[in-house]
Amino acid sequence: MSAALIDGKAFAEGLRQKIAKFADEFEAKAGRKAGLAVVLVGEDPASQVYVRSKGKATTAAGMNSFEYKMPADASEADLIAKVEELNADPAVDGILVQLPLPKGLDEQAVISTIDPDKDVDGFHIINAGRLSVGQKGFVPCTPLGCLMLLKDRLGDLSGKDAVVIGRSNIVGKPMAQLLTDANATVTIAHSRTANLPEVVKRADIVVAAVGRPEMVKGDWIKPGATVIDVGINRVDGEDGKTKLVGDVDFDSAREVAGAITPVPGGVGPMTIAVLLRNALVSAYRRENIALDEDAL
């Protein structure tokens, strides 16, 4: 048996089209475009690529993209002043500070300066708290994207056994919370979990967010399970070029799973699409314009 492929790229494209339609409606009703501001500090090449593609995607969705580049030696006070300026700017609905920040800058201090109602990455402690107690806020983009793929594939998640491997604040923990809220029975596995293969084998849903290339093997997977691979790992390919692989050993897992996300083309494209979604939701909320947020 070979698993169905969960095409995150196609799903993200569909979501972006919906966002573009709602962004047009927002502009017509509010008399302005929704706006997303991204702050990049330093010259990290991967971050530069992300920021560029975020900017392009934002404009393509009919929203304003504001990009601010600061030098690698910018002080924390300068960065915080920039965030405060964006907090006060009525044209800015969402603020994202690209991580990681250069050494010496305290990420938590900077993130906690972002107005929680513009924190479209969902990293502010207030939004983590809101998610934890079931209040409306912003949910981190990657786990929300994973949930969308799972619901699209499986429909109702009630009663499913889910294992999330990884307990980071930006992926594992919010993912587990979202699955719990969707009535799945959730186990969070991590670097100290005993008998990880056996734990994973119980799961109808496996979300791997570890950062270890191809760690999860096919014989860990329950036949027919749905596997979401969040991992993005660069490894040397046989041809000497680097290639991207996930945290799941795709070739062996796809022989056992019912459905699986590829890397690349699975979870990755969802992250930016959900960022745009969160920014647009913020714009509607800030202008008090009705929106069925579940439709996005």
The H or E element containing residue 110 is: helix 107-111
Q: DSSP characters for 138-180? A: ---HHHHHHHHHHHHHHS--TT-EEEEE---TTTHHHHHHHHH
Told to check if 172 binds ligand NAD by CB under 6 A, we report: yes
At closest approach, how far in Å is the CB of 71 from ligand NAD? Answer: 26
Nearer to ligand NAD, 89 or 161 (CB): 161
The H or E element containing residue 46 is: helix 45-60
Told to check if 53 binds ligand NAD by CB under 6 A, we report: no
Longest dimension (CA), the chain: 57
Residue at 105: amino acid letter: L
Nearer to ligand NAD, 157 or 210 (CB): 210
Told to check if 36 binds ligand NAD by CB under 6 A, we report: no
8 Å CB contact between 187 and 206: no
Rg (CA), the chain: 19
Nearer to ligand NAD, 41 or 196 (CB): 196
8 Å CB contact between 143 and 162: no
The 136-165 contact track toward ligand NAD, x by CB under 6 A, reads ------x----------------------x
Q: Which tokens go with 291? A: 């929106």
CA proximity to 26, closest of 293, 289, 232:
289
At closest approach, how far in Å is the CB of 25 from ligand NAD? Answer: 28
**From 63, 203, 259, 267, residue interacting with ligand NAD (rule: CB under 6 A):** 267
98 catalytic, yes or no?
A: yes
- For residues 181-210, which are near ligand NAD according to CB under 6 A? 189-191, 193, 196, 209-210
Told to check if 114 binds ligand NAD by CB under 6 A, we report: no
Residues near ligand NAD, by CB under 6 A: 142, 165-168, 170-172, 189-191, 193, 196, 209-212, 230-233, 267-268, 271
Q: Which residues are catalytic?
A: 54, 98, 121
